[in-house]
Structure 1
Amino acid sequence: MTTLTDRPATALLVIDVQQDVMEGAQDRDSVIGNIAGLVDRARAEDVPVVFVAHADEGMPRDSDAWQYVPELQRADAEPLVHKGYGDSFEDTDLEDVLAARGVGRLVVTGAASDACIRSTLHGALARGYDVTLVADAHTTQDTTEWGNIAPADIIRFTNLYWGFTGAPGRTTAVVPTAEVAFAPQS
């Protein structure tokens, strides 16, 4: 269990499902559909949903490219964490948002698998969180022109290695959308 012993709650983290990030992403529609289903389930189960939005020179805050995809609408009471680095914890208020809600376990979704998802997974684990990656609810764009591997391989690799990642006193898991349990499993 989490090393954050006074924080038994779970939160659904939705990372960078923004117009520009999702344009041309691998299996875009099914990934967004899976995330939307998880958001609905989390809301129904009174599980905090935390949205994260990246901004930089190429995707300025509040621009059309920066906006979340229309299929995902954040409720007014749900936090929106603004970030400028891959790790959603780095130079943001994410830790404060989660601490205020007693969260010690994260269910992670979003984009991009080989950048902000991986950075946030490691950032969360290093900070003491239990971290579940939803295998079919994260994606990335095709960056093979810059020497990267194909998007499907990136997603498969991220799922594979996260399933074998661990740290003392913390748990990690990779599960498909259909098997996500917001309550910690004993």
Structure 2
Amino acid sequence: MTTLADRPRTALLVVDVQRDVVDGAHDRDGVVGRIRDLVARAREGGVPVVWVQHSDDGLPEGSDGWRYVPELQRAAGEPLVAKHHGDSFEGTDLEQVLADARVGRLVVAGAETDACIRSTIHGGFARGYDVTLVADAHTAGDKTEWGVPPVPDVVAHTNLYWRFQTAPGRTAAVVDAADVVLEGPGAAPA
């Protein structure tokens, strides 16, 4: 139902599951394990897996903390999008990567829920993509010392409001990892 013409495919977008980003994050091992399973299912179903990797002054490119967690390995030929802003589309080649693959539907997982995940799901939706947030495959670090709710509440709130996101000709959804459908070039989220 995407508003993007001739974009029948779905892609799995894995955002910023880097060592320093998820070190100490809520349910880190569970989230990484579910993302690992999604990646395997996407590959088996011929669904593109697109990796996004953030860098900035606190997370310098090439540093050990900048690297993806060891449980997640990018396969040869899978695109890697380098980014410097929260929204994975801003100042990157993500749109071109998705256009080249004829992708109009995104399944999004990764970190951090209250920053790059939120920015990316909104950024994709505003650009015409159907966007499914994987309910149990995104996380963040604890920011309660700055007055933010605990991470489980941030995740729950993000899942809640994304379920009700609307726009003409596009769909937003929230689906548990086990229920995401990833298969073939026309795959659509459950």
Give the TM-score category using the shorter length: over 0.9
TM-score scaled by length of structure 1: 0.98
Equivalent in the alignment of 1:53: 53
1:35-55 superposed Cα distances (whole Å, 9 cap, x missing partner) = 000000000001000000000
Matched, 1:134 2:134: yes
Equivalent in the alignment of 1:97: 97
Equivalent in the alignment of 2:151: 151
Question: Structure 1: which amino acid aligns with 2:23?
Answer: E
Equivalent in the alignment of 2:161: 161
Equivalent in the alignment of 1:39: 39
3-state DSSP of counterpart to 2:116: helix
Q: Give the deviation of 1:24 after TM superposition.
A: 0.6
Equivalent in the alignment of 2:108: 108
Identical columns (%) = 65
Question: Structure 1: which amino acid aligns with 2:84?
Answer: G
TM-score scaled by length of structure 2: 0.96
1:29-79 superposed Cα distances (whole Å, 9 cap, x missing partner) = 000000000000000001000000000000001100100000000012101
1:131, 1:87 → 2: CA distance?
14
2:113, 2:66 → 1: CA distance?
18
Count residues in correspondence: 186
Q: What is the alpha-carbon root mean square deviation over aligned residues?
A: 1.0
Equivalent in the alignment of 1:120: 120
3-state DSSP of counterpart to 2:154: helix
1:154-175 superposed Cα distances (whole Å, 9 cap, x missing partner) = 0000000000001100001000
Q: Give the deviation of 1:5 after TM superposition.
A: 2.4
Structure 1: tracts of 5 or more residues without a match? none
1:29, 1:166 → 2: CA distance?
32
1:5, 1:166 → 2: CA distance?
19
Q: Give the deviation of 1:185 after TM superposition.
A: 6.2
3-state DSSP of counterpart to 1:60: coil
Structure 2: tracts of 5 or more residues without a match? none
1:164, 1:148 → 2: CA distance?
22
Equivalent in the alignment of 1:177: 177
Question: Structure 2: which amino acid aligns with 1:132?
Answer: T
